[in-house]
Amino acid sequence: MIWIFGITGTNGKTTTAYMTADILKRSGKECALIGTVTHKIGNKTYEAINTTPGKETLREYIKEAETQNIDTMVMEVSSHALSQGRADDVPIKYAAFMNLTRDHLDYHKSMEEYYLTKKKLFDFKTLDAAIINIDDVYGRRLFSELKEERKDIRFFTISIGGDADFTAFIKKEGFWGSEFDVRKRTKASDEDEITEKFSLMRPGRHHIYDALAALALTFAYGGRDEIGIAREALAEFAGAPGRFEIITNENSSIAAICDYAHTPDALENLLMTVKEVRDTDENMRHGRIITVFGCGGDRDRGKRPVMGKIAGQLSDYTIITSDNPRSEDPLDIIAEIEEGIYGTHGEYTVITDRRSALAKAAALARPGDIIVAAGKGHETYQIIAGQKKHFDDREILRELL
């Protein structure tokens, strides 16, 4: 039998999936991973064309996992997949809800429709436990509704500094990571509470939420023994590809961060995290944040000015460029981003070619500055006018720095 974990939410799915898989592997389990970056089933790796593949592909993956005697499988479950019923035949046992913020409204049309689509993951009859972030407004709603609708499953809530089943209390934050205590509340008695010290090599509160979700998922599966294993695995977690991936050069005092942030909430969290960790680092405290980003073509246009405003407010200098313009004119996309940045009075420029934009950022950067390349993260391509060409922010920044 294979035990399947499903993770949904606008942001944090990939990192949570990688963390969960790392914990399961450290506990001695063979673990398959299906998500935005890769689809890996034991000794076989498949291109991740979609975050969550179609029904037939998922059936083949599960069959392959069983053939290789794989114990567990961690899946990112996208809203598109839930809407189209791609995962309907998958016996998901443990499900996590991370958050819900604006994205994919070109497809879902409204936040209400988006929320109801995400909620479908918790309708699965095979479900045994639900992990829910109750610091998120939609998470609180989901928890309230499911408590009445699903009397047959267990619930594990997560929070930073709140009142949840797994609550993190932050002790230290910095550019190279964080330290925090986790209190595990039990229903039996207060005396049975568990408090453990955790550390992460990844900065920012969003990584702590991801760690809490991974911890709760594996606890739901393996019980108390998983807490110590999770602490060890998370302390060594090196990060998911393209998620706050730090690019440095030993001969340079300039740092670059590549991140997949392509929604308003993700971009805001990213830049707020960079500001917070910069201000706590003596070598970077007086450095500037130089942000390079664009927005995808043929997608939700409404988020473009919102992201422009966020970049203008939270960056010292912004370079607006192309992401994956697809069939749209890159200049049309950029113009809509500019509508949001105008009112911020933030200093910015427009460079349509993304490589040139990254080169400009590197040329502008002084010792102590931080370059933030947002939107593409792990992607190794650009789609322009229907053509897919090799392009990797990380490769280019390593060359430039």
Per-residue model confidence (pLDDT) at position 401: 86
Alpha-carbon span 344 to 288, nearest angstrom: 17
For position 189, what pLDDT does the model report? 46
CA distance 135 to 161: 9
* 88/174 same-domain check: yes
pLDDT score of 187: 63
Q: Flag whether 327 is in a domain.
A: yes
Q: In this structure, what are the phi and psi dihedrals at residue 72, rounded to the nearest 5 degrees?
A: -135, 160
pLDDT at residue 188 above 60?
A: no
Q: Give yes or no: residues 251 and 186 share one domain.
A: no
The CATH number of the domain where 279 resides is what? 3.90.190.20
55 plus 201 within the same structural domain: yes
Q: How far is CA 243 from CA 139, 143, 196, in A?
A: 23, 28, 26
pLDDT at 197: 96
pLDDT for 311 beyond 90: yes
124 occurs within a structural domain: yes
pLDDT at 102: 65
Q: What is the pLDDT of residues 112-129, one digit of tens each?
A: 999 999 999 999 999 999
For residues 228 and 259, membership in a common domain is answered with no
pLDDT in tens, 265-274: 899 999 999 9
Q: Which domain holds residue 142?
A: 3-235
Q: Tell me whether residue 274 is in a domain.
A: yes
> What is the mean pLDDT of the segment spanning 17-39?
96
Give me the CATH number covering residue 224. Answer: 3.40.1190.10
3-state secondary structure the chain: CCEEEEEECCCCHHHHHHHHHHHHHHCCCCEEEECCCCEEECCEEECCCCCCCCHHHHHHHHHHHHHCCCCEEEEECCHHHHHHCCCCCCCEEEEEECCCCCCCHHHHCCHHHHHHHHHHHHHCCCCCEEEEECCCHHHHHHHHHHHHHCCCCEEEEEEECCCCCEEEEEEEEECCEEEEEEEECCCCCHHHCEEEEEEECCCCHHHHHHHHHHHHHHHHHHCCHHHHHHHHHHHCCCCCCCCCEEECCCCCCCEEEEECCCCHHHHHHHHHHHHHHHHHCCCCCCCCEEEEECCCCCCCCCHHHHHHHHHHHHCCEEEECCCCCECCCHHHHHHHHHHHHHHHCCCEEECCCHHHHHHHHHHHCCCCCEEEEECCCCCCEEEECCEEEECCHHHHHHHHC
- Asked if residue 149 is part of any domain, the answer here is yes
Q: Are 155 and 147 in contact (CB under 8 A)?
A: yes
For residues 224 and 275, membership in a common domain is answered with no
Checking if the pLDDT of 38 tops 50, the result is: yes
Give me the number of domains the chain comprises.
2
Residue 364 clears pLDDT 80, i.e. is over it? yes
Q: Which residue has the higher pLDDT, 64 or 189?
A: 64
Do 207 and 282 sit in the same domain of this protein?
no
The answer as to whether 240 is a domain residue is: no
- Is residue 157 domain-shared with residue 271, that is, in the same domain? no
Q: What is the pLDDT of residues 65-108, one digit of tens each?
A: 999 999 999 999 998 999 999 999 999 999 999 999 866 666 66
- Single residue among 187, 215, 235 that ends a domain in this structure: 235
pLDDT band at 225 (very low <50, low <70, confident <90, very high): confident
Domain stops at, among 169, 201, 235: 235
- Specify the range with the lowest mean pLDDT, choosing from 118-122, 274-278, 359-363, 395-399: 274-278
Of the residues 183, 210, 235, the one at which a domain ends: 235
The verdict on residue 277 lying in a domain is: yes
Q: In the predicted model, what is the mean pLDDT of residues 195-223?
A: 94
Looking at every residue in the chain, the average pLDDT score rounds to 93
Most confident of 101-110, 185-194, 385-394: 385-394
Residues 219, 306, single domain; the answer is no
Residues 91 and 35 in one domain: yes
For residues 182 and 194, the model is more confident at 182
Answer yes or no: pTM beyond 0.75. yes
Mean pLDDT of 286-292: 94
266 occurs within a structural domain: yes
Q: Is the pLDDT assigned to residue 186 strictly greater than 50? A: yes
Inform me whether the pLDDT recorded for 5 exceeds 90. Answer: yes
pLDDT tens digits for range 12-26:
999 999 999 999 999
Lowest mean pLDDT of 130-144, 217-231, 307-321, name the range: 217-231
Verify that 75 and 134 share a domain, yes or no.
yes
- One domain, residues 259 and 225: no
**Predicted confidence (pLDDT) at residue 391 exceeds the cutoff of 80:** yes
Say yes or no: 383 and 291 in one domain: yes
Average pLDDT over residues 343-351: 95
Residue 328 domain-assigned (yes or no): yes
Mean pLDDT of 19-36: 96
